Amino acid sequence: MTTETIPPEEAARIIKAGRLFPEWWMNLILNARLTPKQELVAQSVAKNPRTTVRAAEAVGKSYLAARIGLWFQNHYQPSTVIDTAPTWRQVEEVYWREWAVAFSTARRPLPGHTTKGMHQIDDKWFAIGVSTNEPDRFRGFHNEHVLVIVDEASGVPQSVYDAIENPLAAGLTRLLLIGNPTSPVGPFRESFSSSIYNPIHISAFDSPNLVAFGITLDDIRSGEWMAKAKITDDSLADGTWIKQMPFPSLVAPPRVAERLQEWGEGSLMWESLIMGNFPDSGQNNLIPLNQIESAIERDLAAEGDAIAGLDIARYGESETVWTLRQGDKVLDIQAWSHKDILFTKGRVNSLFWKAAPRILNIDASGIGQDDADLLKAEGLNINAVLVGQPAINSERFGNRRAEYYFQLARRFAEGTISIPNNRKLVAQLADLRVTYGRTTNKVLIESKDEMRARGSKSPDFADSLMLAFIPSGRRGKATQRTY
Domain limits of the chain?
A: 8-202, 211-274, 289-468
Question: What is the arithmetic mean of pLDDT over 99-128?
Answer: 95
The whole-number pLDDT of residue 479 equals 34
Is it the case that residue 411 has pLDDT exceeding 50? yes
DSSP characters for 444-469? Answer: EE--HHHHHHTTPPP-HHHHHHHHHT
Bigger pLDDT: 478 vs 178: 178
Is it the case that residue 231 has pLDDT exceeding 50? yes
Local structure of 439: helix, strand or coil: coil
Q: On the CB side of 287, how many CA atoms lie within 13 Å of its CA?
A: 31
At CB < 8 A and 24+ separation, what contacts does 168-171 make? Answer: 169/142, 170/142, 171/142, 171/143, 171/144, 171/145, 171/146
CA 236 to chain centre: 25
Q: Going by CATH, does the domain composed of 8-202 fall within 3.40.50.300? A: yes
The whole-number pLDDT of residue 132 equals 87
CA 71 to chain centre: 27
Q: Taking a C-beta distance cutoff of 8 angstroms, is the pair 335, 458 a contact?
A: no
Q: Taking a C-beta distance cutoff of 8 angstroms, is the pair 362, 375 a contact?
A: yes
The Cα-based distances of 136 to 86, 129, 164 in angstroms read: 15, 13, 9
Model confidence at 11, pLDDT cuts 50, 70, 90, reads: confident
The whole-number pLDDT of residue 56 equals 98
Is it the case that residue 276 has pLDDT exceeding 70? yes
Q: Taking a C-beta distance cutoff of 8 angstroms, is the pair 384, 372 a contact?
A: yes
Is it the case that residue 371 has pLDDT exceeding 80? yes
The Cα-based distances of 404 to 15, 61, 166, 180, 388 in angstroms read: 60, 37, 44, 29, 11
Model confidence at 480, pLDDT cuts 50, 70, 90, reads: very low
Bigger pLDDT: 474 vs 230: 230
Report the relative pairing of strands 320-327 and 302-311 from DSSP bridges.
antiparallel
Is it the case that residue 436 has pLDDT exceeding 80? yes
Q: On the CB side of 36, how many CA atoms lie within 13 Å of its CA?
A: 11
Strand partners, 360: 308, 382
Fold of 289-468: Nucleotidyltransferase; domain 5 (3.30.420)
The whole-number pLDDT of residue 61 equals 98
The whole-number pLDDT of residue 444 equals 95
The whole-number pLDDT of residue 481 equals 32
Is it the case that residue 273 has pLDDT exceeding 90? yes
The whole-number pLDDT of residue 457 equals 87
Rg of the chain over Cα atoms, rounded to whole angstroms, equals: 26
Model confidence at 238, pLDDT cuts 50, 70, 90, reads: very high
C-alpha to C-alpha distance for 324 and 465, rounded to whole angstroms: 8
End-to-end alpha carbon distance in the chain? 61
Which regions of 328-456 does DSSP assign to beta strands (E)? 329-336, 359-363, 382-385, 434-436, 443-445
The whole-number pLDDT of residue 134 equals 83
DSSP state at residue 394:
T
The whole-number pLDDT of residue 478 equals 37
C-alpha to C-alpha distance for 185 and 203, rounded to whole angstroms: 20
Question: What is the arithmetic mean of pLDDT over 324-348?
Answer: 96
Is it the case that residue 256 has pLDDT exceeding 90? yes
Q: Taking a C-beta distance cutoff of 8 angstroms, is the pair 368, 362 a contact?
A: yes
Question: What is the arithmetic mean of pLDDT over 64-75?
Answer: 98
Is it the case that residue 281 has pLDDT exceeding 80? no
Q: Taking a C-beta distance cutoff of 8 angstroms, is the pair 14, 1 a contact?
A: yes
Least confident of 306-310, 315-319, 344-348, 431-435: 315-319
Query: Phi and psi of 463, rounded to 5°?
Result: -65, -40
The whole-number pLDDT of residue 7 equals 82
The whole-number pLDDT of residue 452 equals 83
179, exposed or middle or buried, with CB in 10 Å at 0-12, 13-18, 19+?
buried
The whole-number pLDDT of residue 284 equals 85
Report the relative pairing of strands 198-202 and 172-179 from DSSP bridges.
unpaired
Model confidence at 5, pLDDT cuts 50, 70, 90, reads: low
C-alpha to C-alpha distance for 417 and 159, rounded to whole angstroms: 24
C-alpha to C-alpha distance for 111 and 429, rounded to whole angstroms: 46
C-alpha to C-alpha distance for 80 and 73, rounded to whole angstroms: 7
C-alpha to C-alpha distance for 468 and 324, rounded to whole angstroms: 7
Identify which of 33, 31, 61 has the alpha carbon closest to the alpha carbon of residue 176.
61
C-alpha to C-alpha distance for 455 and 263, rounded to whole angstroms: 9
C-alpha to C-alpha distance for 221 and 204, rounded to whole angstroms: 14
Question: What is the arithmetic mean of pLDDT over 157-170?
Answer: 96
Total count of residues recorded for the chain: 483
The whole-number pLDDT of residue 316 equals 80
Question: What is the arithmetic mean of pLDDT over 396-422?
Answer: 96
Question: What is the arithmetic mean of pLDDT over 82-107?
Answer: 95
Identify which of 247, 250, 209 has the alpha carbon closest to the alpha carbon of residue 230.
209
Local structure of 377: helix, strand or coil: helix
Question: What is the arithmetic mean of pLDDT over 283-290?
Answer: 85
Is it the case that residue 386 has pLDDT exceeding 60? yes
